[in-house]
Amino acid sequence: MPRLPTPLTLPPDRSGPHTLRRRRRREAATAWAFISPAVLVILGLSILPVVWSLLLSFQVNDLVTPSRWVGLDNYRALRQDPNFHQAVENTVVYTVLYVPLSIAVGLALALVLNRRIRFVGLYRTLFFVPFVISATAQGVLFSFILDPEFGAANSVLHRLGISPQGFLTDPSQALLVLVAITLWSGTGLCTVIYLAALQDVQQSLVEAARLDGAGRLQLLRHVTLPALTPVSVFLLLWQTIQALQVFDLVYVTTKGGPLGSTTVIVYFIWEQAFKEFTAGYGAAAAYVLALALFVVAVLLRVVRGRERTPRTKAAAS
């Protein structure tokens, strides 16, 4: 610690309006110097692109030649594009499977680990480690493990007498396999966050419920879970946003195949913009996705607001 100056608590300035104003002005200049890098990067590479994207979505653009204005044509085309429909469907299936499963399993693991059990730290580490590994590395690893010919998974199945599976090369399995891989890497996050939240559940409440004769399940239902609601809502929002934006894993493992069975929305956007060079069309699809994300966020905010009101009322009375 640096040596602190003697604690004066005088108001900052009393030396007259002139110096005060000068100091204010200098302060504002310093403040602008402090924030300008952040403002430049964030506004330049975020606000500007958001507007630009909107304009692009009304244009035909190939990233090279000047673009042409087409109005709502891109959006109309999206509505009729079977590939886009499939991408939306795949993304929804993926999200609906992944989000509740990861939260439920994460919660169950956290509840078990929250009992005074030995090696909690070791278990927590093991469940959480896959989370820090990049989607690329996960994808490459599982492409190998699940390789129909050379993979360990089929080797194990063979030893158990089960016929070899296609996994990522089978159109009816690929999306489910992707969900499983993401569960492997994403459940630990839920566990760790729930574990931290469980530490904050008021022990006095738990004790009181116990004294009133609440069993384990009643305790869980009426004390623990309600106390965890804010965290659950956060995880629901966070995991949904992550799931709707899945891309890296798909690019590395299946490239949207086989037969488009794993083409998700972001993969569709990337393909349109940077492979087919129809950037305006891609931008329109990106806007549809952004709108969906926005709706999810607003819905959850409403739910959360409704959750919060009764409790504060109860606390006040």
Residues 223-282, interacting with another protein (CB under 8 A): 231, 234-235, 237-238, 241, 245, 247-248, 251-252, 266, 269-270, 273-274, 279, 282
> CB 227 → another protein: shortest distance, Å?
13
Q: Are 280 and 74 in contact, with CB atoms under 8 Å apart?
A: yes
121 makes contact with another protein (CB under 8 A): yes
Q: Are 293 and 244 in contact, with CB atoms under 8 Å apart?
A: yes
Nearest to 110 by CA among 12, 4, 187: 187
Contact with another protein (CB under 8 A): which of 60, 120, 176, 209? 120
Contact with another protein (CB under 8 A): which of 115, 216, 306, 313? 115
69 makes contact with another protein (CB under 8 A): no
Contact positions with another protein (CB under 8 A) in 33-52: 34-35, 37-39, 41-50, 52
304 makes contact with another protein (CB under 8 A): no
Helix (H, G, I), strand (E, B) or coil at 257: coil
Question: Cα–Cα distance between 262 and 155 in angstroms, integer?
Answer: 25
C-alpha neighbours within 13 Å on the C-beta side of residue 77: 17
137 makes contact with another protein (CB under 8 A): yes
Stretch of 74-82, 94-102, 198-206, 216-224 lying at the interface with another protein (CB under 8 A): 198-206
Structure tokens at 196: 């931290």
Structure tokens at 73: 């044509």
Q: Which is nearer to another protein, 249 or 313 (CB)?
A: 249
> CB 317 → another protein: shortest distance, Å?
27
Stretch of 71-79, 216-224, 283-291, 305-313 lying at the interface with another protein (CB under 8 A): 283-291
Bridge partners of 59, per DSSP, are: 69
DSSP string, 65-123: SPPEE-TTHHHHHHHH-HHHHHHHHHHHHHHHHHHHHHHHHHHHHHHHHHSS-TTHHHH
Contact with another protein (CB under 8 A): which of 81, 92, 93, 143? 143
> CB 199 → another protein: shortest distance, Å?
8
Contact with another protein (CB under 8 A): which of 77, 205, 290, 296? 290
Contact positions with another protein (CB under 8 A) in 76-105: none
Question: Cα–Cα distance between 102 and 187 in angstroms, integer?
Answer: 5
Supply the Cα-derived Rg of the chain in whole angstroms. 26
Structure tokens at 223: 């004390």
Q: Which residue has the tokens 């009375």?
A: 317
Contact with another protein (CB under 8 A): which of 63, 162, 208, 259? 63
Contact positions with another protein (CB under 8 A) in 5-34: 5-10, 12, 24, 27-28, 30-32, 34
Q: Which is nearer to another protein, 18 or 115 (CB)?
A: 115
Q: Which is nearer to another protein, 199 or 317 (CB)?
A: 199
Other C-beta atoms lying within 10 Å of the C-beta of residue 307: 14
Structure tokens at 14: 């009393």
127 makes contact with another protein (CB under 8 A): yes
